Homo-oligomer: A and B are copies of this chain.
Amino acid sequence: MWKPDRTSKKPLYQQISEQMERRMLYGEFPPGSFLPSERRLADLIGVNRSTVVQAYAELRAKGIVESTTGSGTMVSKQAWGPADGLSPNWRNYVEGGTFAPNLPLIRRIREVLRVKAPVIDFASGELSPDLFPNAAVKQLLKQAPFEATLGYDDPQGYLPLRQSLVPFLEQRLNIRTTESSILITSGSQQSLYLITQCLLAPGDAVAIEDPSYAYSLPMFQSAGLRLFPLPVQEDGIQPEDIISLFRQHRIRMLFLNPNFQNPTGSILHPSRRAQLLRIAAELGIPLVEDDPFSLTSFYGELPQSLKSIDTHGSVLYVGSLSKIAASGFRIGWLIAPQSVVGRLADARQQMDFGLSVIPQWLANEFISSSLFDEHIGLLRQSLAAKQREMMACLRRELGDEVQFVPAHGGLNLWCKLHSAVDDFKLLEECIKRGVVFMPGTVFGSRPGHVRLSFARPGLNEIGHGIAQFARALRSLL
């Protein structure tokens, strides 16, 4: 991101106006489009708002931007060359398009995080940078021999990685599969996207957990799917609920996250797993098992995955490195019957021509080395410690206002607030105090819930963050 040069003799406002003029001239802001608001630009480049006000005033004086009441600062349609502002109406295009934009709450949180002012981040369901296997990656980049070819990869993904995943999944999760049943994806998000695009049609009914991550995904909406909720209790969903949903709506697919469910942290009760699979098989409904967290299990007990006991072949299994190693690999896997893998691989060729072989090669080196087990051991300890710290702080600061069940794995603590507060207001109060979190409504829950990720902030940030969160909450009570 460009920043003005504070050592230069040229005044800041003038540096900014020249930079903005260049950005207009080079087409970043074509005629008729709007510049960032003064406040936003000031945040982004780290200056006072008044400096940007002065810079924009200079651009207005030159006649290359206009202020339009209410909508901000528009690039003039007249001032750019002989064509007198002929150019596409980009707003029209940007607001058209099939694919749905992200939820406003999520865009707001992302924007705050993007500016990278010091914000304590309880919102991102991601590991903190110190938990990534940075040292392992550096070591492997320097030492592992890169022998992969740099051409287009196999549409199903890098074969050595698929071959390594077969014993990896069998030894760690008791999942037996074959290299040709595996599609390497750029993470669970892409696995789910391919499933919704290639196996379902607009108008299809699908069942998702309530609350669940799936609610936060415009991809379901973009695919035109009708979503029906399966309520999640402390022990997960009730399998019988599927039967009545099926009778009423002809459900075509189930999306479940049985282990350390996002956002509730719940574990589907072992006794319900066989029953769930039997019901899915009897109704002939495929079941997408989203399983990003199993290997984070803090105390080592791994709940059985549905895939490992799926005798009917109903389960599409979705896993990834994002939550157990680093999201920056962009490496996930989908296990599915050959016909499904083939169809999805073919479609992905059309969307992005597959993944780069480089992170696949690196991921393969990583999961095949002893570095992986070292990493996962440290990760589990650290996540457990972070959750303990968060729970202690919550009890201290908000013991009377917040209720939660400790998670045994995953990255999040799901909290019920005793008093109902407005999600948007609570978020804005928190942002003012340098903290972000995910409101429960993002996951489709009733108001009065929040998801606090303990994985993302540093252990020593959690106390201050929870104190600020508590202040924000109390300011609204």
Contacts and interface: CB of A to CB of B under 8 A. Distances in A.
A352 interface: yes
Chain A interface residue bracket vs B: 35 or more
Interface in A130-169: 132-134, 137-138, 141-142, 146, 148-155, 159
A101 interface: yes
Interface stretch (A264-272, A325-333, A407-415): A325-333
B151 A81 contact: no
Nearest to A189: B353
Contact of A200 (B82, B96, B352): B96
Contacts of A31: 312-313
Interface string A286-326: 10000000000000000000000011111100000010001
B83 A312 contact: yes
Q: Which interface residue of A83, A99, A110, A359 has the most chain B CB atoms within 10 A?
A: A99
A246 to B, nearest CB: 13
Contact of A328 (B101, B126, B151, B285): B151
Contact of A102 (B22, B180, B185, B346): B346
Nearest to A317: B27
Interface of A is mostly: loop
Nearest to A155: B110
Nearest to A327: B152
A30 interface: yes
Interface stretch (A86-94, A391-399, A419-427): A86-94
Given A159-B1, A177-B27, A178-B22, A33 B358 contact: no
By CB atoms of chain B within 10 A, which of A28, A81, A88 has the most? A88
Contacts of A331: 356
A248 interface: no
A20 B349 CA distance: 27
Nearest to A223: B98
A98 B202 contact: yes
Contacts of A340: 90, 93-94
A80 interface: yes
A328 B98 contact: no
Contacts of A107: 346
Nearest to A159: B1
A152 B322 CA distance: 9
Contacts of A224: 98
A86 B286 CA distance: 11
Contact of A88 (B82, B202, B223, B286): B286
Given A81-B312, A99-B347, A328-B358, 12 more contacts: A27-B313, A30-B313, A86-B281, A86-B282, A91-B339, A93-B199, A94-B199, A97-B197, A97-B201, A129-B149, A138-B146, A330-B352
